[in-house]
């Protein structure tokens, strides 16, 4: 049953209201107690994190206060790589009931381990996210995140079951089959990457299925890659649903670390009763004030198999506290603007792909698929934004060149950087059917990474 609160909009019920709307002082007390438990478990397990804690002068978890967090040692992806596959386990190997992972940036796999209790926690976190999008027992959830080592498919799957919803394990790819399933089963909730939501939306439209006419989708829970407000508007238009963001990473648990609520849809509530969050200056490692973009850093307060203290994610976002019409008291993170290692440096200017996306998709004539080509041929370092004109729209004021020139001006104004825009024929920009969208390609010589891009 929906609740109408004083702010007006219908607010779907929370999956764990006591935890999600806990008064802040109680939450802080709970976090402190759990942080002490985490540090005690790490010290008892021995190994890398115990050694670092001892070096920092921490001999007993009971001595740690929440306010001391910034002085505790951090962990990074490198630590996971160097202790691959099971070097950071804090439970005996036979208590690990599942492993997951990601192909990861830099092509090196990251493997993570779950105890039975970790899997149960993960399911609850995903159930929270789905409930925040309006899913309830009996809701049909079409889950098009990939099933396998990737945490998206099985994480959302377990969350949907925990909630008591009906999950359709479509996994990624085989788009024609997905269209058929959506036409036949008429799900209310779609879960997949935002780039695949676009791909599915186009395929549904081609099959004659439109919002209100064959489609019954009310909300989508989209994540695993950065996406902008402009992309949100495109997805909503295409699929006739509320497009909500979900964030997570294998190292911390998978999807369900944070998720947006239907009531506000303007930032992701972090499940900070289990994942204590900080935003740090990526260079100095010092905490940044709320509202300032920083590197998200998580301490897994309750995880058993692979507990991590102050794990630096490389993801850049800002934190915000305060009232939310949904009633959750959990801190909000902004959309992730990019990863520290996704930042392009072009002639001394720092650019995140999402900043370019914002300008490109802010222009209604541009289709939602794009690729940024870093032209490094013969010592160059230029950025070329490859995009397409939206099909089925009446031609705008200019031809392809007019559109390109307008976008180049917009990019220059927004970024202070000259970017070449190539408006290519429909279908030129590669689409991602399975896995995460690739938004950047390097061009070091030979054929261009996108057919039709002039040399």
Site residues (vs ligand DLL, CB under 6 A): 102, 145, 150-152, 223-226, 245-250, 254-255, 313, 315, 336, 339
Q: Pick the closer one to ligand DLL by CB: 14 or 246.
A: 246
Short-list 146, 212, 144, 203, CA closest to 179: 203
Q: Pick the closer one to ligand DLL by CB: 12 or 353.
A: 353
Residue 162's Cα: distance from chain center in Å?
21
Q: Pick the closer one to ligand DLL by CB: 150 or 370.
A: 150
Category of 385 on φ-ψ map: left (φ > 0), alpha (ψ -120 to 50) or beta:
beta
Could you tell me the smallest distance in angstroms from the CB atom of residue 294 to ligand DLL? 14
What residue has token string 């309750």? 302
Q: Pick the closer one to ligand DLL by CB: 231 or 239.
A: 231
Is the peptide bond preceding residue 400 cis, with omega within 30 degrees of 0? no
Could you tell me the smallest distance in angstroms from the CB atom of residue 190 to ligand DLL? 12
Q: Pick the closer one to ligand DLL by CB: 224 or 243.
A: 224
Could you tell me the smallest distance in angstroms from the CB atom of residue 353 to ligand DLL? 11
* 3 membership: H or E segment, kind and range: strand 3-4
Written as six digits, the tokens of 313 are 């994610």
Mind giving me the DSSP string for 72-141?
A: S--B-HHHHHHTTTTTT-SS-GGG--EEEEE--GGG--EEEEE-HHHHHHHHHHHHHHHHHTT--TT-EE
Q: How far apart are CA 434 and CA 172, in angstroms?
A: 5
Burial of 249 (0-12, 13-18, 19+ CB in 10 A): buried
Could you tell me the smallest distance in angstroms from the CB atom of residue 351 to ligand DLL? 17
Number of C-beta neighbours around residue 354 at 10 A: 21
Could you tell me the smallest distance in angstroms from the CB atom of residue 171 to ligand DLL? 12
Q: Pick the closer one to ligand DLL by CB: 226 or 267.
A: 226
Could you tell me the smallest distance in angstroms from the CB atom of residue 331 to ligand DLL? 16
Could you tell me the smallest distance in angstroms from the CB atom of residue 307 to ligand DLL? 17
The pairing of beta strand 219-223 with beta strand 189-192: parallel
Dihedral sign for Cα atoms in the order 361, 446, 107, 171:
positive
User: CA angle at residue 147 from 146 to 152, to 5 degrees?
Assistant: 65
Q: Pick the closer one to ligand DLL by CB: 24 or 78.
A: 78
* Residue with nearest beta carbon to ligand DLL: 223
Q: Pick the closer one to ligand DLL by CB: 188 or 250.
A: 250
Q: How far apart are CA 157 and CA 134, in angstroms?
A: 16
Could you tell me the smallest distance in angstroms from the CB atom of residue 332 to ligand DLL? 13
Q: Pick the closer one to ligand DLL by CB: 53 or 197.
A: 197
| Residue 387 contacts residue 429 (beta carbons within 8 Å) | yes
Could you tell me the smallest distance in angstroms from the CB atom of residue 13 to ligand DLL? 22
Q: Pick the closer one to ligand DLL by CB: 280 or 424.
A: 280
Residue 315 φ/ψ, nearest 5 degrees: -85, 135
Q: How far apart are CA 152 and CA 410, in angstroms?
A: 35
Could you tell me the smallest distance in angstroms from the CB atom of residue 277 to ligand DLL? 13
């Amino acid at each position: 049953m929906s609740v109408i609160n004083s702010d007006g909009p219908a607010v779907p019920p929370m999956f764990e209201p006591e935890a999600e709307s806990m008064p802040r002082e109680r939450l802080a007390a709970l976090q402190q107690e759990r942080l002490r438990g985490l540090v005690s478990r790490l010290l008892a397990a021995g190994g890398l994190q115990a050694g670092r804690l001892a070096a920092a002068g921490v001999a007993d978890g009971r001595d740690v206060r929440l306010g001391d967090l910034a002085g505790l040692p951090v962990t990074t992806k490198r630590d996971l790589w160097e202790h691959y596959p099971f070097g950071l386990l804090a439970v005996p190997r036979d208590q690990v009931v599942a492993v997951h992972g990601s192909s990861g940036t830099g092509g090196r796999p990251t493997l993570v381990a779950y105890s039975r209790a970790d899997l149960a926690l993960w399911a609850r976190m995903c159930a929270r996210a789905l409930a925040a999008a309006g899913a309830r027992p009996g809701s049909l959830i079409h889950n098009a995140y990939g099933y396998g080592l990737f945490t998206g498919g099985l994480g959302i799957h377990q969350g949907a079951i925990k909630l008591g919803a009906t999950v359709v394990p479509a996994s990624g790819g085989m788009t024609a089959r997905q269209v058929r399933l959506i036409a036949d089963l008429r799900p209310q909730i779609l879960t997949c990457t935002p780039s695949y939501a676009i791909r599915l939306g186009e395929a549904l439209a081609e099959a004659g299925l439109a919002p209100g006419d064959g489609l019954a989708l009310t909300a989508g829970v989209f994540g695993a890659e950065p996406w902008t407000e402009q992309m949100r508007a495109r997805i909503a238009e295409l699929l006739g649903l509320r497009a909500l963001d979900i964030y997570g990473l294998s190292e911390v648990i998978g999807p369900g670390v944070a998720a947006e609520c239907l009531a506000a849809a303007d930032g992701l509530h972090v499940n900070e009763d289990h994942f204590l969050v900080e935003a740090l200056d990526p260079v100095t490692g010092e905490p940044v004030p709320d509202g300032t973009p920083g590197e998200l850093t998580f301490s897994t307060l309750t995880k058993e198999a692979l507990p991590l203290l102050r794990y630096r994610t490389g993801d850049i976002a800002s934190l915000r506290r305060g009232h939310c019409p949904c009633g959750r008291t959990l801190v909000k993170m902004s959309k992730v603007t990019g990863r520290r290692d996704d930042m392009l440096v072009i002639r001394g200017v720092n650019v995140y792909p999402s900043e370019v996306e914002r300008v490109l998709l802010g222009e209604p004539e541009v289709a939602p698929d794009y690729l940024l080509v870093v032209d490094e041929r013969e010592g160059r370092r230029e950025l070329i934004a490859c995009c397409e004109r939206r099909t089925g729209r009446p031609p705008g004021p200019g031809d392809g060149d007019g559109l390109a020139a307008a976008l180049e001006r917009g990019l220059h104004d927004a970024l202070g950087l000259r970017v070449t825009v190539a408006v290519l024929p429909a279908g030129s920009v590669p689409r991602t059917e399975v896995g995460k969208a690739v938004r950047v390609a390097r061009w070091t010589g030979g054929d261009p990474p996108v057919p039709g891009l002039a040399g």
